[in-house]
Amino acid sequence: MTLGSPFRHGQLVVLVLRDPRERVWGRLLGLDPAGVTVRGVDLRAWEDVLALVRRGEGDQVALATRFLPMHRLESFYVDEASSGVPSLGDDFAQRAGVDPEAFLQDP
């Protein structure tokens, strides 16, 4: 039995990559056997991103649209709350005061 993918265009996702190790949060733009296209930010800069957006300097965030080849993908998650911990999108909205989907819209 084939099941449909839980991933949809425009959905907020978290990607864990290898070689080099990175974590990316963003909006899913494409998914195919070759890889994933996402518009988002590197999670190493999460606190800086929140601070910039909170101060109204969201245009200073290194927001990028990237294609990530499948061989780099270690794991791929829907950004959703789990075990009482808010999703990154919810955290972003609460702490930065901006809708994450609007922030991650195409330029």
pLDDT at 65: 95
C-alpha to C-alpha distances, 74 to 11, 51, 60, 98, 102, nearest whole angstrom? 19, 29, 29, 29, 27
Q: Would you say 15 and 36 are in contact if contact means Cβ atoms under 8 Å apart?
A: yes
Residue 7 falls inside a structural domain: no
pLDDT at 4: 67
Domain holding 93, by residue range, is 12-103
Residue 5 falls inside a structural domain: no
pLDDT at 5: 81
Mean pLDDT across 42-69: 94
pLDDT grade for 97, boundaries at 50, 70 and 90: very high
> What burial letters (b/e) apply to 8-36, b meaning 16+ CB within 10 Å?
eeebbbbbebeeeeebbbbbbbebeeebb
Model confidence, pTM = 0.91
Q: Would you say 70 and 35 are in contact if contact means Cβ atoms under 8 Å apart?
A: yes
Q: Which residues pair with 24 in a beta bridge?
A: 15, 42
Residue 87 falls inside a structural domain: yes
pLDDT at 18: 95
Residue 1 falls inside a structural domain: no
User: What is the domain count for the chain?
Assistant: 1
Model confidence at 14: pLDDT above 60: yes
Residue 43 falls inside a structural domain: yes
How far out from the chain centre does Cα 49 lie? Answer: 12
Residue 70 falls inside a structural domain: yes
Residue 57 falls inside a structural domain: yes
Question: Tokens standing for 91?
Answer: 């955290």
What value does the mean pLDDT of the chain take?
Answer: 93
Model confidence at 83: pLDDT above 70: yes
Residue 52 falls inside a structural domain: yes
